[in-house]
Structure 1
Amino acid sequence: MRRFTTRIGVLAAAVMLACTAGGIAQSSAAPSAAPRAAAAAEEPAYFEMTDITGEPFVIKLTDSARIEEARRILSGEERDRLHVIGRIVKRREPYNPRWDFALNPDTVSFFEVSIEVCDATTPYVEDHLDEAGGAFLPGLYWCPWTSRLVRELPRS
C-alpha cells in the first residue's frame, strides 16, 4: 500500500508541475523590436544563471520570446518572473561543460513562484542526477527557487 501511495504522490506532483510549467509557457512576452527578435530567432542565445550556491550554470535559449524575456530580466525591466524552470536533459553540453546535465532549450521559461517538488540547487541535481525523473524532480522538471540570471554570454 505504501508503494502505491508513493506512486500516486509522485504522479500528482508531476501533474501539478506540468500544469505549472504549461501555464508559464503560455504566458505572453511583451513585444519588442522586430530586428532584434528576428536575429534572435536565427541564433540561440546563452545566459549564465546561478543559485544560492553561487555555482554558474549556462542555459541555451532558442525561442525569440524567451530570449527577449531573459534580456528584460537582466535589464531590470522584468521584476516578477525572475527564476528559471525547464526540463533536464541528462547529458553534458559543450556550452555547459562543468555539469552532466543541461536544460532542454524548448522547455526553459521563467517563473515567480512554483511548487517545491522541482526545487534543488545545481550541485544537488548534479550529485543526484541518477534519481532525477522519479520522486526527485518528477518529469525531470527543475525550478531552482533561488535561481537568477547573471548575464548574457557573448556570441562566439
Structure 2
Amino acid sequence: MRRILTKFSGLAAVSMLALAVAQPAQAAQQGAGAAYFEFTDSTQQTFVFKLTDQAKIQQARSILSGKETEATQVMGKVVKSPAPYNKPWNYQLDPSSVSFFAAAIEVCDSNMVYLNQHLSEVGGAFLPNSVWCDWGSHLTREVTPK
C-alpha cells in the first residue's frame, strides 16, 4: 500500500510540475498574438495602442486596407499609466476595451493632447467611466513596438 501511495504522490508531483511549466508557455503564446496600431487625430499627433483579440486585430487591418469603411474610429478605456510603446503619452488604452466606431456620444470625445493635459480628471465628468472616443481619430498604420 505504501508503494502505491508513493507512486501516486510522485505522479501527482510530476503532473503539478507539468501544469506549472505549461501556464507560462500558454501566457507567452497569448502575448505573441498582440498587434500594435497607430492613429492620429485633429492635433496631428500619433497614439499607439495594443490589441490582443484576434477579431479586433483583423478589424483594424481591414480598416487599414480599406475593406472596412464605416466603423473606423478608435474607442477604448483609458488606463492612467504610460505604456513603453506609446510615448510621449502618460496613458494608454486597455487592449481588451478597444473597439472601432462610426458614431459615438459627445461625452467621450477628446483629442489626445487635451486628454493628456487633463488626465487626473478622467473618469469623472470628463470621460465618464474612462471611455475615450476621439471623433477625429484616424487609423494610420500597424506598427512594431519599440
TM tier, smaller: 0.7 to 0.9
CA apart distance, 1:42: 3.8
Q: Which runs of 5+ in 1 are unaligned?
A: 1-38
Spell out, residue by residue over 1:98-127, the C-alpha distance to the aligned partner (whole angstroms, 9 max, x if none): 100000000000000000000000000000
Contact 2:49-2:92 within 8 A present in 1 as well: yes
- What is the aligned counterpart of 2:33 among 24, 43, 47? 43
Identity %: 49
After superposition, residues 27-106 of structure 1 pair within 5 angstroms as 42-106=32-96
SS of the residue 2:110 aligns to: coil
Contact 1:41-1:63 within 8 A present in 2 as well: no
Contact 2:85-2:145 within 8 A present in 1 as well: no
Contact 1:44-1:60 within 8 A present in 2 as well: yes
* Match in the other structure for 2:128: 138
CA apart distance, 1:153: 0.5
Q: How many residues align?
A: 118
Q: Structure 1 runs of 4+ off > 3 angstroms?
A: 39-42
Distance 1:78 1:139 in 2: 28
Distance 2:103 2:50 in 1: 22
* Match in the other structure for 1:7: none
CA apart distance, 1:41: 7.6
CA apart distance, 1:154: 3.1
Contact 1:49-1:149 within 8 A present in 2 as well: yes
* Match in the other structure for 1:23: none
Distance 1:71 1:121 in 2: 23
Q: Which runs of 5+ in 2 are unaligned?
A: 1-28
TM-score with structure 2 length normalisation?
0.77
Which moved further from structure 2: 117-126 or 40-49?
Answer: 40-49
CA apart distance, 1:65: 0.3
Contact 1:48-1:150 within 8 A present in 2 as well: yes
Matched, 1:111 2:101: yes
SS of the residue 1:114 aligns to: coil
Distance 1:90 1:135 in 2: 16
TM-score with structure 1 length normalisation?
0.72
CA apart distance, 1:61: 0.4
